[in-house]
Structure 1
Amino acid sequence: MSDGGSIAIRERLRGVSLRPTRQRIALGRLLFAKGDRHVTVEQLHEEVLAAGVTLSLATVYNTLHQFTEAGLVRVLTVESSKTYFDTNVSDHHHFFVVGANEIQDIPFSKVTFENLPMIPDGLEVAHVDVVIRLRRRAS
């Protein structure tokens, strides 16, 4: 894996103080090669296997959480049973299509708030996540 994609992933990992191991490089190439996306651990593991890379589901899970802690991805929970990892770490919101497990980004500027509740003393807003749940219309 010495192509340009691997070099870019190595640099990206080093930039957030993660050692560029074989597993991290393989997952980084699959995860970031397709632009901004939302994936579950299981979806990424299926991609890993399809690419002929031998990694356990636990390794994919642990690596995604390391990427999250390093700020490379962020966790998005839209259902209690599913956690998605979002490669777009900028401030933005989401549409979620119920029953289809589809997620689409909504630019941050497209959602505005007239007011937020009173913030308790000593705290500040770190981030506001808006998930708009959609469903397909009945035909």
Structure 2
Amino acid sequence: MTHAYELPIEERLRHFGLRPTRQRVALADLLFAKGDRHLTVEELHEEAVTAGVPVSLATVYNTLHQFTEAGLIRVLAVESSKTYFDTNVSDHHHFFIEGENQVLDIPISNLTIGNLPEPPEGMEIAHVDVIIRLRPRTRT
């Protein structure tokens, strides 16, 4: 059986309930062409402009949020001023390198989380996102 992430972009968008418009296809091509990655709206917009894709920053923003709502990507809020969109929707955690604004995946098997609180009545835990902030060692 073919996994949804192995499908051509147009079929993948349809599989996730999205109409494969020209701009969605172009942005999805850019987004998924390099494997698992973490991008901001501004970074994807810059890639689109460089690739000659005529798209506004607002369209990139709206498209990434549509991809997120459909389950094609996930949002990673690292700091209040920056939101990254992660093409890897599997359960995993992240390192964030401060000063470089770089996000790296941590495989789920490398981290164990326990003693989670009971969610409020009628709620369930959807994800637990751990972000470990890194910085270069300071010399002592």
Cα RMSD (Å): 1.2
CA distance in 2, matches of 1:114, 1:53: 45
* Map of 2:21 onto structure 1: 21
Q: Does 1:123 align with 2:123?
A: yes
How many residues are paired up? 133
User: Shift in Å at residue 138 of structure 1?
Assistant: 2.8
Q: Does 1:83 align with 2:79?
A: no
Task: Flag structure 1 segments of 5+ consecutive residues without an equivalent.
Answer: 1-6
TM-score, normalised via structure 2 length: 0.90
* Map of 1:4 onto structure 2: none
* Map of 1:3 onto structure 2: none
Q: Does 1:41 align with 2:57?
A: no
Counterpart of 2:54 in structure 1: which amino acid? T
User: Shift in Å at residue 113 of structure 1?
Assistant: 2.0
* Deviation by residue 1:95-125 (Cα, 9 ceiling, x = unmatched): 0001110100011121112311233333222
Task: Give the secondary-structure state (helix, strand or coil) at the position aligned to 1:34.
Answer: coil
* Deviation by residue 1:12-35 (Cα, 9 ceiling, x = unmatched): 001011110000000000000000
TM-score, normalised via structure 1 length: 0.91
User: Shift in Å at residue 48 of structure 1?
Assistant: 0.3
* Map of 2:93 onto structure 1: 93
For structure 1, which segment, 30-39 or 112-121, has the greater mean C-alpha deviation from structure 2 after superposition? Answer: 112-121
CA distance in 1, matches of 2:122, 2:11: 37
CA distance in 2, matches of 1:43, 1:73: 15
CA distance in 2, matches of 1:30, 1:13: 14
* Deviation by residue 1:59-101 (Cα, 9 ceiling, x = unmatched): 0000000000111110000110000000000111000001110
